[in-house]
């Protein structure tokens, strides 16, 4: 199973590291930091677990809140090592253990389970909630996104990954919180909001 849905990253480790780094940071900055870690041979959690905190801080300094994130990544790398490796952590049945790690909220846990662990779980995100709510013309709560997807789409890894990535892209590019750009959105033909308000 390919990892490369996550902007071309080719390993579960890089996806997990980027998920920690991206909080409140531009994606381009995160990508550059991961590429730099890769050049130094330090883009795996196994290698990171051997480092001290100041080395991790130095390595990820361009991202916002790098000190907090360095501590979280190092803790997570050591946790994964204690669990016998990342592949033992990225399982649906380990979701609660994942959620108990510092810096891992529900969206992060479910995103890495789906994209790095290839587990069939759909992350409840604000982007997905907003786009689906507007397309179907019915208010959806964030916690209801995954069950809506389960009821209305094939329970299939490929479908879940495409849908999550697609809804995120539409949410960021067109379906803005105020003044959505419906005239340029490729969902306009099927979107209730567009018919009602544009």
Distance in Å, CB of 116 to ligand SF4, minimum: 28
Residues 6+ apart with CB under 8 A from 188: 182, 194, 198
Which sign does the torsion angle of CA 185, 191, 195, 198 carry? negative
Question: Whose Cβ is closer to ligand SF4: residue 25's or residue 194's?
Answer: 194
Question: Whose Cβ is closer to ligand SF4: residue 2's or residue 178's?
Answer: 178
Q: What is the DSSP code (8-state) at residue 101?
A: S
Q: Note whether 16 and 25 are within 8 A (CB).
A: no
Q: What is the DSSP code (8-state) at residue 153?
A: S
Q: What is the DSSP code (8-state) at residue 137?
A: T
Task: For residues 131 and 175, give the distance between their C-alpha atoms in angstroms, rounded to a whole number.
Answer: 6
Interface mask (CB under 6 A) for ligand SF4, residues 108-147, using x and -? -----------------------x--xx------------
Number of shown-chain residues binding ligand SF4 (CB under 6 A): 15
Applying CB under 6 A, the span of 19-27, 47-55, 157-165, 167-175 interacting with ligand SF4 comes to 167-175
Question: Whose Cβ is closer to ligand SF4: residue 69's or residue 134's?
Answer: 134
Interface mask (CB under 6 A) for ligand SF4, residues 54-73, using x and -? --------------------
User: The tokens of 132 are what?
Assistant: 């689906």
Question: Whose Cβ is closer to ligand SF4: residue 92's or residue 176's?
Answer: 176
């Amino acid at each position: 199973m390919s990892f490369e849905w996550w902007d071309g990253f080719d390993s579960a480790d890089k996806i997990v590291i980027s998920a920690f780094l991206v909080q409140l940071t531009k994606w381009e900055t995160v990508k550059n930091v991961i590429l730099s870690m890769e050049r130094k041979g330090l883009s795996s959690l196994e290698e990171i677990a051997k480092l001290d905190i100041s080395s991790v801080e130095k390595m990820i300094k361009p991202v916002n809140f790098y000190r907090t994130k360095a501590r979280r990544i190092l803790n997570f790398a050591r946790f994964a090592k204690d669990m016998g490796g990342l592949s033992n952590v990225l399982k649906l049945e380990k979701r609660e253990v994942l959620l108990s790690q510092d810096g891992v909220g529900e969206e992060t846990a479910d995103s890495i389970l789906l994209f790095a662990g290839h587990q069939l779980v759909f992350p409840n995100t604000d982007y997905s909630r907003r786009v689906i709510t507007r397309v179907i013309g019915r208010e959806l709560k964030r916690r209801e996104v995954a069950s809506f997807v389960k009821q209305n789409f094939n329970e299939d890894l490929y479908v879940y990954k495409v849908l999550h990535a697609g809804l995120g892209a539409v949410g960021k590019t067109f379906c803005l919180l105020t003044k959505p750009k419906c005239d340029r959105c490729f969902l306009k033909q099927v979107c209730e909001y567009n018919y009602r308000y544009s």
